[in-house]
Amino acid sequence: MSDTFKTSSGITVAPVYRVEDLDGADAAATVGDPGAYPYTRGIQPTMYRGRLWTMRQYAGMGDAEESNKRYKFLLANGTKGLSVAFDLPTQIGYDSDSPLALGEVGKVGVAIDSIEDMQRLFDGIALDTISTSMTINATASILLALYVAVARRTGTEAKRLSGTIQNDILKEYIARGTYIYPVTHAMRLVTDIFAWSAEEVPEWNTISISGYHMREAGCTAVQEVAFTLANGMTYVQAAIDTGLDVDAFAPRLSFFFNSHNNLLEEVAKFRAARRMWARIMREHFGARKERSWMLRFHTQTAGSTLTAQQPENNTVRTTLQALAAVLGGTQSLHTNGFDEALSLPTENAARIALRTQQILAHESGVTQTVDPLAGSFYIESLTNEIERRAQDYMTTIAGFDQGRYGMLRAIERGYVQREIQNAAYAYQQAVDAKETIVVGVNQFASDKEVTVPIQRIDEAMEHRQVERIRALRLRRDAWVHTAALRRIEDAARNGQNLMPPILNAVESYATVGEIAETLRGVFGEYRESVTV
C-alpha cells in the first residue's frame, strides 16, 4: 500500500492533523457559529435540531399517470418533497409526436407536452402543501409556466407555491448537452424568470446552480466548487446587468451539488462552498441582505459511482454519500436507488433509498448537534485547502474577461470542458491501474452474476402519448392558440419579459414543442463549435 494518500481532488492527506497545521489566517477563517456569516458551519443556527432537510426523491417515468403513481407512493412512504425528472424530448423542446422524439418518449423521465399532461402529473396532490423541484433547463420557462397554470386551475394562488426550477443553462454547455438556444438568448430566459418570479411566485427558487452534472462528467470536488460558483457569479452579474437589484433575487438562488464517496472531502467541500459564496455575494456583489449571502443547496448522491456489478453494494455507497451531505449541512437530499446503474429505480429500490435518509435522520444521531465535525483539524484544513484551490480556478476563469463574464468566455474556449475531461481521464487511468479501487469492479469481483428486478417502461405508452397530443391539437381553439404563440414571438423580438406570454400560451393549450419552436424561430439554435 502507498505511503502517500490523496483525496479525489489530489490533495495530499497527512498521517495526522494538529492545531499547528492551521495557520493564523486559516484558524480565523473557521471561527464562527452556525447561522452566522460566512456560514462555514451552516446557514441556520439550529440546523437539523430545528428542522430536518427536505427528503426529496427524484422520479419521473413514462407518462403523467405513471409518474403520478410513483409520487403518491413516495409521499405515502414519507418523502417531504417531489422532484420531477422529464424525458429528453421535453428537456430539449420537442413534442412527443415529433420525429426527433421517436423512441425517447418517457424513457429517462416523464413526457410532458401540454397543460393537460401537467395536470395529470399532479392529480390529487395539493400544490400549496408540497415543495416541487423540477430538473429542467432549456425549457424551464415553459415548465414553470405549466406548473403555475395548473395551480391556477386547481384554485391555488401562485404566491403560495414553493419549489425549485433548475434553470441552470450554463452547465448544459459544459457537461450535459440539453441546450437549445445560443448562450445570450438562453441567459435572457434565465433572468426573465428571475424578474417575473420575484413578483408572481416569490417563494419559488428561481435557479438551482448545479455542480452535480459536472461532477458526473468527471470533475473533482475542487473543480465542482470552482465551476459551480463561477456559473453562479455569471447569473448574478447577468441579472444585475438587466437592472435587477441583487437583493431582490439573490435570496431565491439555490445550488445543487453531488455527494461522492470520499466522505470527509465531501463534507469539507460543502463547508468551503458555503463560505466562498457568502464572501462573493457580500464583498464582490455588495449584497446587503443576509439571505442573499446564504448558499442553500440540494444534494444528490453520485449516480456515476453506482455499479452494475454487485448492485447491492450501491446501497452502502449511497448511505456514505448521504451521510456526507447531512454532515455538510444540505437543505435537501435525494438518495439514488441501488439499481440505477441498470434502469430507472423500482419501487423497492426507491423505498430503500428513502429509508436510508430516514434512518440517518432518526437513528444515526448526527442530527442532534449542529456541524458535528467542526473543529476536526483535518476537516478544517481540508476545507481551507479546497477553498484555496477553488479560488485559484476562479481567478483563472475571471482572467478570461477581466472578471465580468469570464465563465462564458472560458466555456466558449473549451477551458472548463478540458479541465473536466482531463480529471475524468486521470480517474479512469487510476481505476485501470488499480490505484483506485472500485469494489466489485476492479477488485473483489465475483463470477456469480447478480440479477435484480428491472423497472420497465410500457412500450405502448409512447403511442398513447402521441395520440393524446394529436387529439389536443384537434379540439383546441386554433385562433386563440396561434395568437398566443404570436405574442411570444413579439416579446422575444422586442425584449419584453417572456414569462407572461408563455404563461398565456400554455393556458391556451400551446405545447412545449410549439413554444420552443417559436423561440427557435427568433433566437436560432446553439451549435457547439469547440472541440475538446
* Cα separation of the two ends of the chain: 35
Q: What pLDDT score was predicted for residue 27? A: 52
pLDDT tens for each residue of 484-494: 999 999 999 99
Which pLDDT band, with edges at 50, 70 and 90, does 456 fall under?
confident
Distance CA 201, CA 218 (A): 35
pLDDT tens for each residue of 259-315: 999 999 999 999 999 999 999 999 999 999 999 999 999 999 999 999 999 999 999
Q: What pLDDT score was predicted for residue 530? A: 60
**Do the beta carbons of residue 107 and residue 87 sit within 8 Å?**
yes
- Which tops the pLDDT comparison, 86 or 447? 86
What value does the mean pLDDT take over residues 366-390? 95
Q: What pLDDT score was predicted for residue 26? A: 52
At residue 84, the 3 state secondary structure works out as: strand
Q: Which long-range contacts (CB under 8 A, 24 or more apart) does 478-483 make?
A: 480/508, 481/505, 481/508, 481/509, 481/510, 483/508
What value does the mean pLDDT take over residues 371-375? 93
Which pLDDT band, with edges at 50, 70 and 90, does 531 fall under?
low
pLDDT tens for each residue of 36-75: 999 999 999 999 999 999 999 888 899 999 999 999 999 9
Residue-range domains of the chain with CATH: 5-50+128-142+157-432 (3.20.20.240), 461-523 (no CATH)
CB atoms within 10 A of CB 363: 9
- Mean pLDDT computed over every residue of the chain: 94
Distance CA 398, CA 402 (A): 6
- Looking at residue 62, the DSSP 8-state letter turns out to be S
What grid cell was written down for 235?
447569473
Q: What pLDDT score was predicted for residue 529? A: 75
Which pLDDT band, with edges at 50, 70 and 90, does 144 fall under?
very high
Which pLDDT band, with edges at 50, 70 and 90, does 105 fall under?
very high
What value does the mean pLDDT take over residues 361-366? 96
DSSP letters along 113-141, please? -SHHHHHHHTTT--TTTSEEEEE-STTHH
DSSP letters along 470-489, please? HHHHHHS-HHHHHHHHHHHH
The greatest distance separating any two alpha carbons of the chain, rounded to the nearest whole angstrom, comes to 74
> Side chain identity at 29, as an amino acid letter?
A
What grid cell was written down for 273?
462552498
- Say whether pLDDT at 28 is over 80: no
Distance CA 25, CA 37 (A): 16
Distance CA 101, CA 255 (A): 30
DSSP letters along 151-172, please? HHHTT--GGG-EEEE----HHI
What value does the mean pLDDT take over residues 409-426? 95
Which pLDDT band, with edges at 50, 70 and 90, does 31 fall under?
low
**Do the beta carbons of residue 111 and residue 117 sit within 8 Å?**
yes
What grid cell was written down for 376?
476536526
